[in-house]
Amino acid sequence: MKPKTKKEKKLKRIHQKSILFNKKEMNAIENYCKKYKIKNRSKFMREAIISTILKKLEDDYPSLFEDQPGLFSQPKNKY
């Protein structure tokens, strides 16, 4: 077996979290996984959580021109 690279060592998952679901939430997850033939639920949940976090961080990232009107934008009505 070859030795692990630095990148592989950095990406090793060493932190554990537990999530509790009620019956309705668990049924929804089970039905979704069954419908879309998801076998690895840990991977599915990890990807769902991380993609949600990354999207939120991207949406919240400050923009240099966020509040400035564009060249062709209409003035906002204050009423």
Q: How far apart are CA 43 and CA 31, in angstroms?
A: 16
Q: How far apart are CA 76 and CA 79, in angstroms?
A: 9
Domain locations in the chain as residue ranges: 21-58
CB 33 within 8 A of CB 26: no
Does pLDDT of 78 surpass 80? no
pLDDT for the residue numbered 73: 60
* Coil, helix or strand at residue 57: helix
Does pLDDT of 70 surpass 60? no
CB 44 within 8 A of CB 33: yes
- Band of pLDDT at residue 9, cut at 50, 70 and 90: confident
pLDDT for the residue numbered 69: 58
Greater pLDDT, 79 or 3: 3
